[in-house]
Structure formats: structure tokens, C-alpha cells
Structure 1
Amino acid sequence: MLVIIGLIVAFMLIAVFSNRATRQCRWREYRRGETATWTCVHCGAETVGTPGKPPRTCLRDNSPRGR
């Protein structure tokens, strides 16, 4: 019983604290020297950024598939 309550609490915390702006985004990184090109597998948005740090906002409106 305690395990079930713990799982419910864990899922509620994930739902509350997850970033809703990028919930469906699945970023893939393609490194080029000191910069990286990030591509979202879900919507096709692309952006250039810092290696190892995916975008924190959804760029769906700027993608060819998001329109």
C-alpha cells in the first residue's frame, strides 16, 4: 500500500514540476565544433545552441512541420 502511494506522489510531482513548454519535444544534438545544432524529432524544429544544453522552450511554431 505504501509503494502505491509513493508511486502516485512521484507521478504527481513529475507532472507539477515538468516543463510543459517542451513536454513533447525530443531534442537530438548534432555537434559541430563549439556549437551544436538541435533538432526536435517530434515537430522538426531546428536551432543552434550550446553543446549538452537542449533548448528549454518549444520551437514548434518555427518548424516546417509545426505549421
Structure 2
Amino acid sequence: MAILLPIILIAIYVTMYLMRSDKTAACKWRQVAREGDERTWRCPVCGGEEVTTDGAEPRFCGAGKSKS
């Protein structure tokens, strides 16, 4: 039983690591600019940058998108 618990914990950790994706990354969006209804957001964690028109911060990680 003592060896079973560490094996289960390691298996859970590995499973969570393998199931992560861009949509579940822990982005911390910060508003960096505002022009009219458009707001520009930047994430210091992933380096992503997004522009929104509804005033809400982006919902998904921007790491996979190219900057323009």
C-alpha cells in the first residue's frame, strides 16, 4: 500500500501534464491599450497579444499565435 500511493500520484501528474493544451494554459491577460471599443491585451506568461471589441479579456491562451 505504501508504494501504491506514490505510483498513483505520479500517474495523475503525468496524465494532467499530457492533457494540457493552449486552451488550459494559465494566461494572465493585462490591458495595454484602448482605442474606442477595441482593447489590446498582452500576457506576460505566454507572450500572446489579442485585441477584443467586447471589453472582456481573451478567454484562450495566445501562445500559439504569431505576432503581427
Structure 1 length as normaliser, TM-score?
0.52
Match for residue 61 of structure 1 among 55, 59, 64: 64
Corresponding residue number in structure 1 for 2:42: 39
Tell me which residue corresponds to 2:14: none
For 1:52, the equivalent position in structure 2 comes to 55
Q: Is the 1:22–1:56 contact (alpha carbons within 8 Å) kept by the matching residues of 2?
A: no
Question: Which consecutive residues of structure 1, in runs of 5 or more, have no partner in the other structure?
Answer: 1-19
- Does the CA contact (< 8 Å) of 1:45 and 1:62 recur in 2? yes
Instruction: Indicate whether 1:26 and 2:28 are aligned.
Output: yes
Deviation at 1:50, TM superposition (A): 2.2
SS at match of 1:62: coil
Q: Residue 30 of structure 2 contacts residue 42 of structure 2 at CA under 8 Å; is this kept in 1?
A: yes
TM-score by length of 2: 0.52
Is the 1:40–1:46 Cα contact (8 Å) retained in structure 2? yes
Q: How many Å separate the matches in 2 of 1:31 and 1:45?
A: 17
Gapped runs of 5+ residues in structure 2? 1-21
Task: Check 1:60–1:40 CA distance in 2 against 1; reply closer, same or farther (3 A cut).
Answer: same
CA RMSD of aligned residues (A): 2.2
Which of these two proteins has the greater Rg computed from alpha carbons? 2
> Where does structure 1 differ by over 6 angstroms across 4 or more consecutive aligned residues?
none
